């Protein structure tokens, strides 16, 4: 591969089938040992892929954000529209990731897709994405709400430190299970994924019960009468409400992070991703109808993150409220386990490629055949993220801090696919799934709006933070990406000059697990590598 050609996946991995008899980019056919190693790693089928997505998406968003979305939207009608719009954006994003995932079915998700398209300046994309992966505590928000619902179920007053203490226990448990007992961790994820769906279905049924007039309230809610009364005209309110919805759908790309471990990745992804997202989106809308059927508008605004508990209490009584609050906490635990599972592998992938310092440490699967080091790093960032924000602002800050950089990344992923569509022949881009240009452009424009609109100042006291400035998550989000740029200047520019070497990327097959991967190596000046990008 020469310097001026796009980085194209090798024959063994192009367009969805891992052809174990196909030669790699050097014309070499994989050995029987490598073929056996590859097959042994293929543990994810359609059910597990669906649960990977379900566990990642259904966390605490649907239980904890509807009250905030209602406050920001101003009306029941606009609040429901926000959920529909969020589902449409999520489905468009899902289509984008299905196309990329079926074309490049390797572990790493959007990192592979960004590197594939954005090749100049060399290695800048890899460094920017590294900052995004290693500095964001994705599992922290659901850990915090896990603590809140557990304490609520125990009838213990929620305070700053007891909530965070239970949240830290949650993230630590997820880290240890996935780091020490890989197969049991995946089985537990599947069980918790089933519990999530059961909880959601109970909530939908609760809405039907309330609509039939059987809620345990003296005065029945009348939220659907004049549903658009109080609708906000604030751009800040609308976009922040949409952020909360997007947070509740975050994770539709989760199966893309483990495609090297997926059986028949093209078929699996094409079935699992739209099935999971479409099913969840429909349930989300039905659950919101249940909230408005059983919980008065004023109570929803006061309940904040405990709106699901209010639904259970108003329909089933206080005893059921506490019991079902435990199941909501288990739903949050399932999300935390799914998130740390994926993020640990992203950190490992960065180590496998030689991007991180002490790469062999981060890349190792020893001693429990799991990315223990990568899982530990994400655990550590989550601990810092849980403890750092001021009381009252922790959950909203974490939610927005995660959602904002995600919108930036998704903008570039969709823009990259638009570029491939417009130059299809030059890139030889003919994957087995086509999202279509209108869908990809819609996904790109939606994410651009999510990046730009939060800079508009809030109106009428709509700031979601009690003590933090409204723009803090935007600045921190760009700061995370900027940190990756600083790392690029050190790792890919300054250190090679000082060390008198050239940083190059080579495609190799790992002798241990049989995976094809790109690795960064140092070449002394004057050496000519066999394959570089």
For the chain, the domains span 38-455+468-490
Q: How confident is the model at residue 94 (pLDDT cuts 50, 70, 90)?
A: very high
Residue that wins the pLDDT comparison between 260 and 122: 122
- If pLDDT is split at 50, 70 and 90, which confidence band does 87 have? very high
- pLDDT bucket at 27, cuts 50 / 70 / 90: very low
Percent of the chain residues past pLDDT 90, beyond the cut: 25
Asked if the model's pLDDT at residue 13 lies above 70, the reply is no
CB 94 within 8 A of CB 277: yes
Q: What is the pLDDT of residues 428-486, one digit of tens each?
A: 999 999 999 999 999 999 999 888 878 888 776 667 777 788 888 889 889 999 999 99
Q: Would you identify the CATH topology of the domain 38-455+468-490? A: Amino acid/polyamine transporter I (1.20.1740)
Q: Is the pLDDT of residue 109 over 50?
A: yes
pLDDT tens digits for 357-377?
888 888 877 777 778 888 999
Say what the pLDDT of residue 54 is. 81
**Over the stretch 179-190, which tens digit does the pLDDT of each residue have?**
888 777 778 877
Predicted confidence band at 261 (pLDDT cuts at 50, 70, 90)?
Answer: confident
Query: 282 pLDDT band (50/70/90 cuts)?
Result: very high
496 has pLDDT over 80 = yes
Q: Give one word for 460, left, alpha or beta, with left for phi > 0 and alpha for psi -120 to 50.
A: left
Residue 16 has pLDDT above 70, yes or no: no
Question: What is the pTM assigned to this prediction?
Answer: 0.80
For the purposes of burial, counting CB atoms within 10 Å of the CB of 365, is it exposed (0-12), middle (13-18) or buried (19 or more)?
Answer: middle
Over pLDDT 70: what percentage of the chain?
Answer: 87
Query: Does residue 88 surpass a pLDDT of 80?
Result: yes
Q: Is the pLDDT of residue 7 over 80?
A: no
User: How crowded is residue 271: how many other Cβ atoms within 10 Å of its Cβ?
Assistant: 15
Rounded to the nearest 5 percent, the helix, strand and coil shares of the chain are: 65, 5, 30
What backbone torsions phi and psi does residue 86 show, to the nearest 5 degrees?
-60, -40
Residue 229 has pLDDT above 50, yes or no: yes
Instruction: Answer whether residue 33 shows pLDDT above 70.
Output: no
């Amino acid at each position: 591969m020469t310097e001026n050609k796009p980085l194209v996946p090798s024959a063994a991995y192009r367009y969805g089938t891992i052809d174990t008899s196909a030669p790699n980019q050097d014309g070499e056919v994989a050995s029987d040992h490598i073929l056996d190693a590859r097959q042994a790693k293929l543990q994810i089928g359609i059910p597990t892929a669906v649960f990977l997505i379900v566990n990642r998406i259904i966390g605490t968003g649907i239980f904890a954000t509807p009250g905030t979305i209602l406050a920001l939207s101003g009306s029941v009608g606009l609040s429901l529209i926000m959920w529909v719009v969020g589902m449409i954006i999520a489905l468009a994003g899902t289509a984008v990731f299905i196309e990329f995932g079926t074309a490049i079915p390797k572990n790493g998700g959007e990192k592979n897709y960004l590197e594939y398209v954005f090749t100049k300046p060399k290695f800048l994309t890899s460094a920017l994405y590294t900052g995004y992966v290693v500095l964001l505590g994705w599992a922290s928000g659901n850990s915090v709400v896990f603590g809140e619902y557990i304490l609520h179920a125990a009838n213990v007053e929620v305070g700053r430190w007891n909530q965070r203490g239970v949240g830290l226990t949650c993230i630590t448990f997820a880290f240890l299970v996935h780091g020490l007992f890989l197969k049991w961790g995946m089985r537990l994820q599947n069980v918790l994924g089933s519990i999530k769906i059961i909880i959601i279905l109970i909530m939908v049924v609760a809405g039907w019960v309330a609509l039939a007039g059987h809620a345990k309230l003296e005065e029945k809610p009348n939220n659907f009468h004049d549903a658009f009364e109080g609708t906000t005209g604030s751009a800040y309110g609308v976009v922040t409400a949409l952020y909360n919805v997007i947070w509740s759908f975050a994770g539709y790309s989760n199966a893309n992070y483990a495609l090297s471990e997926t059986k028949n990745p093209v078929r699996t992804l094409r079935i699992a991703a739209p099935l999971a997202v479409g099913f969840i989106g429909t349930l989300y809308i039905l659950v919101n109808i249940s909230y408005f059927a059983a919980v008065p508008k004023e109570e929803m605004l006061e309940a904040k993150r405990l709106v699901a508990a209010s639904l259970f209490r108003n329909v089933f009584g206080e005893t059921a409220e506490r019991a079902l609050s435990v199941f909501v906490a288990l739903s949050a635990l399932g999300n935390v386990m799914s998130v740390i599972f994926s993020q640990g592998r992203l950190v490992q992938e960065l180590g496998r490629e030689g991007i991180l310092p002490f790469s062999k440490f981060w890349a190792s699967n020893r001693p429990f055949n799991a990315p223990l080091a990568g899982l530990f790093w994400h655990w550590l960032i989550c601990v810092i993220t849980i403890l750092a924000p001021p009381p009252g602002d922790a959950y909203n800050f974490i939610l927005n801090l995660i959602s904002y950089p995600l919108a930036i990344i998704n903008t570039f992923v969709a823009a990259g696919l638009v570029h491939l569509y417009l130059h299809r022949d030059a890139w030889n881009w003919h994957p087995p799934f086509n999202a279509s240009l209108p869908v990809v452009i819609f996904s790109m424009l939606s994410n651009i709006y999510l990046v730009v609109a939060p800079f508009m100042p809030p109106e009428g006291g709509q700031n979601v933070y009690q003590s933090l400035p409204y723009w803090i998550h935007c600045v921190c989000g760009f700061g995370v990406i900027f940190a990756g740029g600083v790392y690029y200047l050190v790792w890919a520019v300054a250190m090679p000059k000082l060390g008198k070497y050239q940083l190059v990327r080579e495609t190799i097959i790992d002798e241990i697990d049989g995976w094809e991967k790109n690795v960064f190596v140092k070449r002394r000046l004057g050496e000519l590598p066999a394959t570089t990008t």
